[in-house]
Amino acid sequence: MTAEPVQTRSGYDGETLAALQHDAAAITARYPDPRSGLLPMLHLVQSVDGYVSRDGIMFCAEQLGITSAEVSAVATFYTQYKRKPNGKYTVGVCTNTLCAVMGGDAIFDELSEHLGVGHDETTDDGAITLERVECNAACDYAPVMMVNWEFFDNQTPESATVVADRLRAGEAVAPTRGADSVCSFKQMSRVLAGFPDGRAHEGVGAGEASLAGLRFARERGATAPDRTGADDAPGDGTGTDQAAGEVPGTITGEPGSSAERTPATSSDLETGKDKKPGEDAR
């Protein structure tokens, strides 16, 4: 039992409530005004309950000293907050114009028929909530599907159905660009509340489409222009001394120079530690 009784109208047990209060305090500490913590706090209650429950609303209201009506007003405004228990995975098919005409409509229809649910409905086993989603900023990978807001690029009805079946079977499923596997809705909600899960270094830096222009530029030897001369540099110039003795950045490189970086040594691939900034900056 916690040392002091906590007055709450939410129905959380003591242990859950204490953990929530601990996290809520960490959230509000990020902002000059605690009220700014409401959005992450709503993600937090979804990480416990799987949706924004009545208890969750009461909890947020009590933490921030506002009314439950004020919390509800916010919770109902944003589409990521669910007012009924969500599936373990939100499977969202982009059916905004570009994805839709390139196949998103067909993917949604196929999934809907395959899973036996429509938009914003959850399969009987509680595994998947199917949604039509709006543009998710991956148009160069159309048609796009999101699973718990990880990218599944360049989908077809067949590939999307396979993903859904594997999710329902409890398999680990890897997004195209994202962590090594999709996490649960509750785990995702905790990250969105601002609590890292240690998976930032998983997955790719950029997908193929993101690199399309860069690859053509490399083939053509196209680079950004040289700077127009050291005299134009702001400041006294000492800030760039460090670069002088090192491998030049591509910005100052010529086609075929060492600035065209393919990893040459093991240090090029070193990822474990970040060096301290150079003393020359002082």
Partner 1 sequence: MTDLLPVLTDTWDAPRSWRLSTYEKHGGYDGLKAALKMPPGDVVQAVKDSGLRGRGGAGFPSGMKWGFLPPDDGKPRYLVVNADESEPGTCKDIPLMLASPQHLIEGVIITSYAIGSKHAFIYVRGEVLHVYRRLLEAVAEARRVGYLGTDILGSGFDLEITVHAGAGAYICGEETALLDSLEGLRGQPRLKPPFPAVAGLYARPTVVNNVETIASVPGIIAQGADWFKGMGTERSTGHGLFSLSGHVTTPGQYEAPLGITLRELLDLGGGMRGGRPLKFWTPGGSSTPLFTAEHLDTPLDYESVGAAGSMLGTRALQIFDDTVCVVRSVSRWTEFYAHESCGKCTPCREGTYWLKQILRRIEDGAAGSGDIDLLLDLCDNILGRSFCALGDGATAPITSSIQFFRDEYQAHLDGHGCPFDPAASALFPYTPRTRTPGTALVGAGAGGHR
- Cα(254)–Cα(110) distance, integer angstroms: 50
Instruction: State in angstroms the smallest separation of the CB of 35 from partner 1.
Output: 4
Site map 240..269 versus partner 1, x via CB under 8 A: x-xx--xx-xxx---------x-x----xx
Phi (first) and psi of residue 123, to 5 degrees: -65, 155
Site map 7..36 versus partner 1, x via CB under 8 A: -----------------------xxxx-xx
Q: Taking CB under 8 A as the criterion, which residues in 212-241 touch partner 1?
A: 212-218, 220, 222-228, 232-240
- Cα(153)–Cα(266) distance, integer angstroms: 31
- Binding-residue total with partner 1 (CB under 8 A): 122
Q: Taking CB under 8 A as the criterion, which residues in 92-111 touch partner 1?
A: 95-98, 100-103, 105-106, 109-110
Instruction: State in angstroms the smallest separation of the CB of 168 from partner 1.
Output: 20
Q: Taking CB under 8 A as the criterion, which residues in 157-196 touch partner 1?
A: 157, 175, 177-179, 188, 191-194, 196
Instruction: State in angstroms the smallest separation of the CB of 143 from partner 1.
Output: 7
Site map 36..65 versus partner 1, x via CB under 8 A: xxxxx-xx--------------------x-
Instruction: State in angstroms the smallest separation of the CB of 282 from partner 1.
Output: 5
Which CB atom, from 18 or from 139, has the smaller least distance to partner 1? 139
Instruction: State in angstroms the smallest separation of the CB of 125 from partner 1.
Output: 21
Contact residue for partner 1 among 68, 165, 207, 257 (CB under 8 A): 207
Q: Is 88 a binder of partner 1 (CB under 8 A)? A: no
Q: What is the DSSP string of the chain?
A: --SS----SS---HHHHHHHHHHHHHHHTTSSSGGGGHHHHHHHHHHHHSS--HHHHHHHHHHHT--HHHHHHHHTTSTTS-SSPPPSEEEEEE-SHHHIIIIIHHHHHHHHHHHT--TTEE-TTS-EEEEEE---S-GGG-S-EEETTEEE-S--HHHHHHHHHHHHTT-----SBSSSS---HHHHHHHHTT---S-TTSS-SS-TGGGHHHHHHHHHT--PPPPS-GGGSSTTSGGGHHHHTSPPPGGG--TTSTTS----SGGGG--S--PPPPGGG-
Q: Taking CB under 8 A as the criterion, which residues in 128-157 touch partner 1?
A: 131-143, 146, 148-151, 156-157
Which CB atom, from 10 or from 223, has the smaller least distance to partner 1? 223
